């Protein structure tokens, strides 16, 4: 951690730690993950009391921003405001991006006895969902592979760009899930994929080639590399039915699109 980030964190902790509306503060973001640059902002999560959160939530007054604590050029503190129940929910059924946001997170201060335990349970891969995730991601890969070919055939550039991105996403999500690595959303996706230890040889080079030259031949090459890597667990109902359930009819039961899991 850069010294100017440490100074900013110390200042923001000193500012809030005696405020009864905010019984805890969590340091998160790139600094907590060890991925910060010299000019990175300071990300914090302010844990509000139930009463304070209930006051703010109706107006979505759940963000915090200040340049007061940073003494380096362009520095600022960027914060989110949540309650303890939000953290419990994230630990119980949070999406991968929600869980991954707490990777490396540390408590700045806390007057909440259970906070450390809840925080430790958030950035954990949901093993109980593993098999169904693989089956759903497999269906997505097959579907988007087909769509890439259709887009190329129709000479539809928009569809080609969209389907190529989706194909890369779900090929990558299969590898992240195989490695029990949380999907950190798009900003850190490629970094997480690079760091995944167990993946096909040349997998990232095939992704780069597909992104540079979208089309059926490069899509097929990426998929063949993925499918030949190991025997994957496939949906018993077939990939078209699983794709329909996860991406087209998911609205019926309130299930988020599979890309947001």
Q: What pLDDT does 256 receive? A: 86
Q: What pLDDT does 127 receive? A: 97
**Number of residues that this document lists for the chain:** 261
Q: What pLDDT does 259 receive? A: 86
Q: What pLDDT does 1 receive? A: 86
- Each residue's pLDDT, cut to its tens digit, for the chain (261 residues) gives 899 999 999 999 999 999 999 999 999 999 999 889 999 999 999 999 999 999 999 999 999 999 999 999 999 999 999 999 999 999 999 999 999 999 999 999 999 999 999 999 999 999 999 999 999 999 999 999 999 999 999 999 999 999 999 999 999 999 999 999 999 999 999 999 999 999 999 999 999 999 999 999 999 999 999 999 999 999 999 999 999 999 999 999 888 888 888
> Which residues, listed in sequence order, are joined to residue 82 by a DSSP beta bridge?
47
**Cα–Cα distance for residue pair 147/26, rounded to 1 Å:** 43
Specify the 3-state DSSP secondary structure of 204: helix
Specify the 3-state DSSP secondary structure of 193: helix
Closest CA to 163 of 144, 181, 188: 144
Kindly report the backbone phi and psi dihedral angles of residue 80, in degrees, each rounded to the nearest multiple of 5, phi listed first.
Answer: -115, 150
| Token pair in block for residue 148 | 């890439």
Q: What pLDDT does 221 receive? A: 98
Q: What pLDDT does 32 receive? A: 92
Alpha carbon distance, N-terminus to C-terminus of the chain = 31
Tokens 């592979």, residue? 145
Residue ranges per structural domain of the chain: 3-121, 127-250
Q: Which CATH number fits the domain 3-121, given the four candidates 3.30.1380.20, 3.40.50.300, 3.40.50.1000, 3.30.460.10?
A: 3.30.460.10
Kindly report the backbone phi and psi dihedral angles of residue 44, in degrees, each rounded to the nearest multiple of 5, phi listed first.
Answer: -130, 160
Q: What pLDDT does 239 receive? A: 97
């Amino acid at each position: 951690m850069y010294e100017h980030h440490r100074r900013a964190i110390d200042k923001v902790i000193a500012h809030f730690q005696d405020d009864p509306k905010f019984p805890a503060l969590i340091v998160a973001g790139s600094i907590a993950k060890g991925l910060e640059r010299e000019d990175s902002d300071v990300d914090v999560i302010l844990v509000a009391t139930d009463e304070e959160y209930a006051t703010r939530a109706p107006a979505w007054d759940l963000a915090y921003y200040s340049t007061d604590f940073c003494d380096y050029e362009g520095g600022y503190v960027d914060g989110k405001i949540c309650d303890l129940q939000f953290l419990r929910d994230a630990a119980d059924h949070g999406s991968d991006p929600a869980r991954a946001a707490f990777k490396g997170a540390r408590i700045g201060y806390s007057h909440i006895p259970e906070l450390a335990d809840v925080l430790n349970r958030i950035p954990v891969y949901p093993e109980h969902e593993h098999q169904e995730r693989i089956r759903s991601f497999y269906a997505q890969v097959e579907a988007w592979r087909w769509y890439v070919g259709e887009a190329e055939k129709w000479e539809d550039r928009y569809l080609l760009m969209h389907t190529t991105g989706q194909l890369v996403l779900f090929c990558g999500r299969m590898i992240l899930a195989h490695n029990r690595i949380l999907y950190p959303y798009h900003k850190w996706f490629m970094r997480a994929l690079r760091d995944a230890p167990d993946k096909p040889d040349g997998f990232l080079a095939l992704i780069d080639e597909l992104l540079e030259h979208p089309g059926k031949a490069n899509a097929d090459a990426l998929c063949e590399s993925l499918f030949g890597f190991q025997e994957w667990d496939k949906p018993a109902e077939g990939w078209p039915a699983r794709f329909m359930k996860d991406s087209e009819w998911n609205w019926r039961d309130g299930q988020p699109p599979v890309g947001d899991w």
